[in-house]
Each structure stands twice: as C-alpha cells, then as structure tokens.
Structure 1
Amino acid sequence: MTLDDLRVFAAVCRAGSLSAVARDLSCTQSAVSQHVKRLERELGVSLIERHPRGVVPTQAGRLLRTAVADGLGGIDQAVRRIGELADGAGGSVRITTGSTSIRHFMSAAVVDFRRCFPQVSLEFQTETSNRSCFDALAAGRVDLAWITLGSPVRGIEQRAVAELPWVLAVADGDPLAARDAIEPADLQDARLIGLPQNSASRSQLDSWLAEYGIRPVFDTSVADWDTAILLAQLGLGHAIVPALPDWQAPGRRGLRLIPVPALPVLTAGWAVRHWDTLTPPARAFADTVARHCARGPAGT
C-alpha cells in the first residue's frame, strides 16, 4: 500500500462517494476505486460497502480510517513544518473556527501577530461544528481550531482560553428588560431564538437547562450568535447567548443583556493535535490570542 492509497481512502470515507473524490482529484472514478482495491487486497478484507446513495466504511474500514487520519495528519504537519524551517521565517498558520469568532476573539491579536510576524500568512477556514473542526485537525488541514470546549476527544488536545457567562438578550422595551438577573425558571415558557442544533454551545445550553427541568420553545433558529443578538435587538424574540465584549459597547442601543448566573459558564479555547509539534508561528498565534482574551472583559 502507498500513501496515495491511504489518502484516497480517507477522502472516500469523508466524502462517502467515489465520484466526488474523483472530481476533487481530477481523475476517473475507476482510478479512485483502484486505490481502495489495492488496500483491500493487501489487508484481505473489504473496506467499503457500496449503497445506492454512496459508500460507507465497513468495520475494518472504520478502523483503518481512524488510523489513517491520525497518521497522515501527523505526517503532513511534519512535512509542512520541515518546509517552513527550510524557508526561514515565512510559512503560514491555518486556523479553523466559526464565522464570527475572528471578530469577537481574534481581531486585535491578528493585528499584533502581523506586526511581529510580517512574513507569515494567516489562513482562516470556517467550520460549523466542533466535530468538523476536529476532523480538519486530524486530517492535517489546519494547525489550530478555536472551539467551544467540551468532553475530551481522542487524539486532540484542548486548552481553555476564555470563560463566557450566559446572558439573556432582549430588546429595551421587553417586559424582562428591567430585570437585574434571570433565573432558569423564568425561561420555562419563553420562546427563544435557537442557536444551531449541531453547535457545542447549543448542546451544552440544552443540557444545563434540562437539569433545571426547563425545556424552552425554540421557534426561530439562526446560524451564529451575532444573528441571534440582532433578532433579539429588533424585538423578534429572546436569545440566550454567551456574553461577549462587542455586545457590551455603548453603541448597542435598544439591547439589554441580562445575566443568567445559575448557568455554568461556557468555555472557549484552542484545540490542536499536539502542542509540542506546532510550528513556532502557530504557537505564537495561539498565545497571542490567549493574551488578548485575558485582557478583555470576557477573558479568564
């Protein structure tokens, strides 16, 4: 078996389609299939099952997929780091995060980092869930992932950076706007603007509210925290969101953010494959973001 065989097999598992991988690699579907068949001949087992709507890995295929993701990600990262050492001070740092995290957590750090490392490029990729961030790390497509921290994940190291208390966002004229704090019981009949179902923040919020026996109605769904805040400011509902510094600015007229102190804080931070294998620029960028977060109102 070759590294190309393993790379193609991993791509087939991610895409669930031979034809999709063939399009991505600008080759024929038969060529993609040959890579998988070589691995199956070498191992003596079937690695994928063909279904009308695509392919899925077998039990043996899932074992190989996990090993390939770990192994190839490490190899790609090492080769890239060696290349950057050969090039000198240049290179790049690849970061994956949600669509609004750069503005809320990294804007000042990006300026600071650029001043210190003018030859290093920053490459940002948007993902929609922790799971997709972890997949990108395992595959070696990114160096750093900014995530909502949760349970440990095999092969991933997580580091907390910012603790974010929960607040209820309401318009100024709302009956709840005069409250100094909100208790979970106050949310029992509330119609809330929901965070994305696949997001770690929504999952943690649902779990914490359930501990209080609260099952609020989410009659509006949005893709990010900023949109939830905007709809609440317009009087279209209430939103339970993490308190971020940008939203506390004086220019946020018409909006009230009321603490919900009973809910545990949400923790955001970095996820990497291995801290000790990061390139010096990647480590410097992670540290720069952490340093700026620690200075702000929402920092730890």
Structure 2
Amino acid sequence: MGMDPHLLRTFVAVARLGSFSAAARELGYTQSAVSQHIAALESDLGTVLLGRRPVEPTEAGERLLGHAAPLLLRMEAARADVARAGAVRPSRLVVGVSPLAVDALVRLPPGRPGLRLDIRVLDRAAIPAAVSSGGLDLGLTDGMTAPSDPLPLPETGPLTAAVVAESPLCVALPAGHPLAPRPGLSLSDLADAQWIDAPGSAVPLDRLRAVCGPGAYRGRLRYEGTDVRGLLALVAAGRGLAVLPTGAAEGRDGVAAVPVAAPRLVHRVEALYAGAGDPPAVLDHIVRAGARP
C-alpha cells in the first residue's frame, strides 16, 4: 500500500516534539489517534520507527525522517499546483521577500489596479518551499553567486527563477578599520578575520566558505535578526565584518563599504514562482519589470 501522508505528518510531529501528547495537541488529534497513526505506519513499513521511553526515532525512523520532509513538501506542491490551475484571477498577491531583497521590491512598479500586495519579510531559506507549497504567490530571494551562475535553491516542487536585480558586493567594516581606505578587498585574504555570522541579513558565512575556498570565516558573534541597520550598527561598533550588497552598506554612519575585488561575485535578487515556463499573468508585471536592464 502507498504511504499515507497523514500518518507521515503525525510521525514527523512526534519525532520533532519527542512526545505523543504534544504531537496530538499540535495536530488537533487525540493522543489515542496519534498512537494509532504511528502503529499503522510501523505496520505498513514492517519496522519500529519510534522508541517509547524516551520517545525518539530508531535507526529506521531516522532514515524515514530524511525522506519525510521532501515527500510532504512535494505533496503540498502538487496540491498547490492543481489549485492554481483552476484558480480565478486573484485580487491579493502574497509576496515573500528576504531582507536583502526588499530594496529590489521597492524599485518595482506597482501592480495592476485593484491588486493588493501582502509583503512578508522571511528568512531566504524559507522562501522556495513556501512558494512551492502555495504559501506564497511569489518569492524574492537573494544571494551571492558568480555572474553567470543561478542562485542555489533547495529541492522543492518545480520552481522558475527570473533575475530581478544584480549589484556589486562589499565588505562592511568600521570606518576606522586599517583596511577601510583600500579600493578593493579579496575575500580569501579575510578568511581569518573576525566576522559577524548574520545569515538572515548578510551573506551567510557558510556561503563564503563554499564559494571562496578553504578558510575559517569564523563568526565572532551571531546576529539572528533581519534588520540590516542593526547589523551595520554592530559593524560600526567593531564587533566584526560582514559581506553585503554595496547599496545596503554605503552611506551608513561609522561603516566603510569596500568593494569585493576577488573572487568575481555579485549579489543577485531572483523572483521565484511555481511551475515552469512564463509566469502567471498576475505575476508577469513584477517579473518582467524586474528583468529589464
């Protein structure tokens, strides 16, 4: 028999929460129903998936968890895709925007008369899955990449990406830093500098390590906010360096924005929408306007 997605969702909730009762409260089931779901899934797969005291995944359960998230996401994406095919022209568009893509959204022209835009500022990692599953009609995400390379995206349902904006990158450092007068900086020369780990509001340090080759790129502190101004205040105070699109750091009090000279990289903003081919008509004005030179 095929794996029941309801049973799979229950298993994921129990494994994540470590409790049958907590999973029941979250899912709106009785604890008895949750127990029956887990028993049915274990019977279907012919193995024990969860230890009971404590409640934690067995080795087989851990393997199933590795498959569960993408399986459930693809099911949600398929449901959303079918719903979009029969949908009438909406009057409301929900757009998810990563913090460093907000400026690109501001520069886009307004939509058609009567169209309401609901803007949600989200972590860039959450945007592709939300677009794929129908939680967002459009996503604007950003990242650091080589000029000819697309932004790396996680495996979700089918998505199409359109370039909205590209800009140079800079290293943001205190205005009094010895490197502030330089005309450009090589990121590889800064591998052992003190960095601010700010995955939501700057280029993530793991991305620097992946793109720039071997190097520490250690975070002196971690900033989990999405407010770029707050990040730059920390830079100005000498708490560490950050890589940002030049426009986000230029003109900030106490901050020097020194261009990234090497490697050759850009900051790109891409619009993501579900499916393949041309965007739906309601999204076309946003994607096409952003793609103009």
Q: Deviations over 1:52-89 (max 9, x none)?
A: 2555746456556544431332113422553x41xxx4
Say whether residues 1:70 and 2:74 are aligned partners: yes
C-alpha separation in 2, matches of 1:279 and 1:11: 34
Q: Secondary structure at the match of 1:259?
A: strand
Q: Cα RMSD between the aligned structures?
A: 3.9
Q: Which among 104, 110, 129 is matched to residue 112 of structure 1?
A: 110
Distance 1:55 1:285, change over 3 A: farther
C-alpha separation in 2, matches of 1:183 and 1:124: 34
How high is the TM-score relative to the length of structure 1?
0.70
CA contact (8 A) 2:160 2:277 kept: no
- Map of 1:239 onto structure 2: 241
CA contact (8 A) 1:134 1:156 kept: no
C-alpha separation in 2, matches of 1:277 and 1:21: 41
C-alpha separation in 2, matches of 1:62 and 1:216: 29
Distance 1:185 1:282, change over 3 A: closer
Structural mapping, 1:29-68, within 5 Å: 29-38=31-40, 43-46=44-47, 48-50=49-51, 52-55=54-57, 57=61, 59=63, 63=67, 66-68=70-72
Q: Which runs of 5+ in 2 are unaligned?
A: 144-150
Q: Secondary structure at the match of 2:185?
A: coil
What code does the residue aligned with 1:104 have?
D
Q: Secondary structure at the match of 1:71?
A: helix
Q: Which runs of 5+ in 1 are unaligned?
A: 296-300
- Map of 1:170 onto structure 2: 173
C-alpha separation in 2, matches of 1:221 and 1:278: 37
Say whether residues 1:196 and 2:194 are aligned partners: no
CA contact (8 A) 1:47 1:58 kept: no
Q: Secondary structure at the match of 2:110?
A: helix
The alpha-carbon deviation at position 191 of structure 1 amounts to 1.9
Distance 1:167 1:194, change over 3 A: same
The alpha-carbon deviation at position 140 of structure 1 amounts to 3.6
C-alpha separation in 2, matches of 1:235 and 1:192: 13
C-alpha separation in 2, matches of 1:240 and 1:207: 16
Distance 1:92 1:49, change over 3 A: farther
- Map of 1:126 onto structure 2: 122
What code does the residue aligned with 2:83 have?
V
C-alpha separation in 2, matches of 1:11 and 1:92: 32
The alpha-carbon deviation at position 269 of structure 1 amounts to 1.6
What code does the residue aligned with 2:137 have?
D
C-alpha separation in 2, matches of 1:122 and 1:276: 24
CA contact (8 A) 2:77 2:157 kept: no
User: Whose helix fraction is larger, Structure 1's or Structure 2's?
Assistant: 1
Q: Secondary structure at the match of 2:180?
A: helix
- Map of 1:219 onto structure 2: 220
What code does the residue aligned with 1:144 have?
L
- Map of 1:142 onto structure 2: 136
Query: Identity of aligned pairs, percent?
Result: 19
Distance 1:138 1:238, change over 3 A: same
Distance 1:178 1:121, change over 3 A: closer
CA contact (8 A) 1:94 1:142 kept: yes
How high is the TM-score relative to the length of structure 2?
0.72
CA contact (8 A) 2:162 2:287 kept: no
What code does the residue aligned with 1:215 have?
A
Distance 1:14 1:189, change over 3 A: same
